[in-house]
Structure formats: structure tokens, C-alpha cells
Amino acid sequence: MPLIPGLTGKADVLICGASQGIGLALCTALLAREDVSRVWAVSRHTSTAGALLALARAYGERLLLMDCDARDEVSLTALASEVGLACTHLHLVISTLGILHQEGSKAEKPLAQLDLSGLQASFATNAFAPILLLKHLLPLLRKQPATFAALSARVGSISDNRLGGWYSYRASKAALNQLLHTASIELKRLNPAATVLALHPGTTDTALSRPFQGNVPEGKLFEPAFAAQCVIELLERLGPAESGSFWGWDGERIGW
Ligand SMILES: NC(=O)c1ccc[n+]([C@@H]2O[C@H](COP(=O)([O-])OP(=O)(O)OC[C@H]3O[C@@H](n4cnc5c(N)ncnc54)[C@H](OP(=O)(O)O)[C@@H]3O)[C@@H](O)[C@H]2O)c1
């Protein structure tokens, strides 16, 4: 099955958030595929990401490491022009950008724990950075076919929210979903073969989830490699007809 619907040749792929966790597992899984030509692996400090450097040694020129802070449009402009020098068309872009309790963001419980700086930090990485990444890479996604997928989270679903808490993470993922849905409408006009997806990878054993794994039911905490495989299966299956929608790792659609 092709990596994205309708793809006939080999894919050029960019993963933003590639130094660890699910992004790193996606790089590993994609490089192992013969239908993937090159992978651009983006994070803020790739030169200190040991696992990425090991992948670069194993895969040589097929893996290109790029430093970029996706919250910074100057950095995104530089990323887009550098990638654009090497290729005219990316077939797949995946944003695995996300924070829950790091870098000023907080996994708040009561309202009393909410503050402006925590909200701003969560929104900057979880909602604003992925959509700005899409804005800057858009010229490389205009030929057919192309998929832009961002890892969202089921807790960003308003209709699914029965537990409360995690105000800024939930709200920033809900905002991300709205931004992606809006972009899917614009992309439909620019390139009818484009697909924009919000994907929930399942609760996965990474730095992001580590402080909160105590309450995860047995068998429901995934290895990053498993989450990456589930994401790839969604990318293989979901095409332009499903653009602008929100899907879980299990292949089920998630309500907004
Ligand atoms: N883990 C879970 O249980 C779970 C569940 C549901 C949804 N998700 C979502 O899945 C995605 C991946 O999560 P994860 O658990 O794999 O997270 P993670 O292990 O913390 O990895 C996040 C990645 O994003 C990069 N990053 C963060 N801020 C960045 C920035 N401003 N610019 C460029 N790169 C940046 C980090 O690299 P550097 O620090 O090197 O820049 C890192 O490679 C997130 O969107 C998360 O919300 C995760």
C-alpha cells in the first residue's frame, strides 16, 4: 500500500518534532520503508539528539537533520527555504510538536492553577507552531498528492470531555483541530489531492506522558514504535475525501 493514497513514486517526508518520542519512532519506521526516498527530521537541537544521529549514521543521505524552533517564523522561513533547495515537493509532512507539562506549560487540575504564561506556552507549541509549519511549507505541498498530518490528542475533543482538567493542553489541541480543519478547506481549493489530518496516537510511553502514566489502564500505554505504526496506517488509508477530520490510532473517527 502506498504511504499516502494516490502516491505512485517514492515519498519525500518531513517530520517536525523528530528528536524523541513518537516523532523519532516515525523517522525510524519511515526510513525502513523502500517507498520513502528522504526524511527531513526537524527539532530544535538535532545535533544533541543521540538517537537521531545514530539513524543518520545508518541511513546516510536519506536522513537530513534540521534545527528549527517551530514557534519562530524566522526559523520556519529558513527551514522552508533550505528544504526547498533540495526538493520541489514534499509528499508527507507530520507535526509531532506538543507539550503538556514542559517549558512553561502546565497540566492544570483546578482553575486556580491556570495562568496566562502557561496558556500561552501550550498554545504556542501545540496550536500555533503546527499551523505556522503548514503555512511555511505550503509551497512544497501544492502538487499532487500531499498529506499534512498533525498529532493532536483525544483530550482536545470537546464532545469527549467528561473528566475536565488539563485546561491549556485540551484547549490548545482543540484550537489546533480548528486550525487544521480551516486549512483543509483552503488546501482543497489549492490542491484537490491534498489531505490535512488531526491524529490521536494513543497514550504512548514518552517524556510528554511520563508523569501521568500511573492511571493508564494495563495494556493501554503504547510503545512509540506501535504508535508510529498506527499513525502510518492512518496515513496510508486517509485521503482527500477525509481531509479536515480527526482520527484515533484505532482507525476510528473522533468527534470534535
Ligand atoms: N505521548 C502521548 O501519550 C500522547 C498522547 C496523545 C497525543 N500526543 C501528541 O503526540 C505528539 C508527540 O508527543 P510525544 O509524546 O512524542 O512528545 P515528546 O516525546 O515530548 O516529543 C516532542 C518533540 O517535539 C519537539 N519539539 C517540541 N517543541 C518544539 C519546537 N518549538 N520546535 C521544534 N520541535 C519541537 C521535541 O524536540 P526538541 O525538544 O529537541 O525540540 C520532540 O522531538 C504531541 O503532539 C503530543 O501532544 C502524545
> 221: Cβ below 6 Å to ligand 1?
no
Task: List all residues 6 or more positions away from 148 whose beta carbon is below 8 Å from its beta carbon.
Answer: 93, 95, 134, 137, 141, 180, 183, 187, 194, 195, 196, 197
- Whole-structure pTM value: 0.98
By alpha-carbon position, which residue is closest to atom 8 of ligand 1? Answer: 153
Q: Kindly give the distance from the C-alpha atom of residue 4 to the centroid of ligand 1, in angstroms, as a whole number.
A: 23
Cis geometry, peptide bond prior to residue 145 (ω within 30 degrees of 0): yes
Domain-embedded: residue 149: yes
255 is a domain residue:
no
**Number of domains composing the chain:** 1
Does 253 map to a domain? no
Q: Select from 197, 16, 183, 176 the least CA-distant residue to 97.
A: 16
Q: What is the mean pLDDT of the chain?
A: 97
> Would you say residue 135 lies in a domain?
yes
User: Does ligand 1 lie within 6 Å of residue 96's CB atom?
Assistant: yes
Q: What is the DSSP letter of 138?
A: G
* Closest alpha carbon to 236 in 97, 15, 35, 85: 35
DSSP 3-state of 51 = helix
- 74-127 residue pLDDT tens: 999 999 999 999 999 999 999 999 999 989 999 999 999 999 999 999 999 999
Our answer on whether the CB atom of 21 is closer than 6 Å to any ligand 1 atom is yes
C-alpha cell at position 206 = 514518552
CATH number of the domain bearing residue 221: 3.40.50.720
Residue 183 lies in a domain: yes
Q: Say if 6 falls within a structural domain.
A: no
Range of the domain at 86: 11-248
Compute the average pLDDT of residues 22-46. 97
Which of 135, 245, 149 shows the shortest CA–CA distance to 190? 135
Residue 144 CB less than 6 A away from ligand 1: no
Question: What's the whole-number mean pLDDT along residues 199-208?
Answer: 96
Is 63 a member of any domain?
yes
pLDDT per position as a tens digit, 39-82: 999 999 999 999 999 999 999 999 999 999 999 999 999 999 99
Mean pLDDT within 197-218: 94
Q: Is residue 173 part of a domain?
A: yes
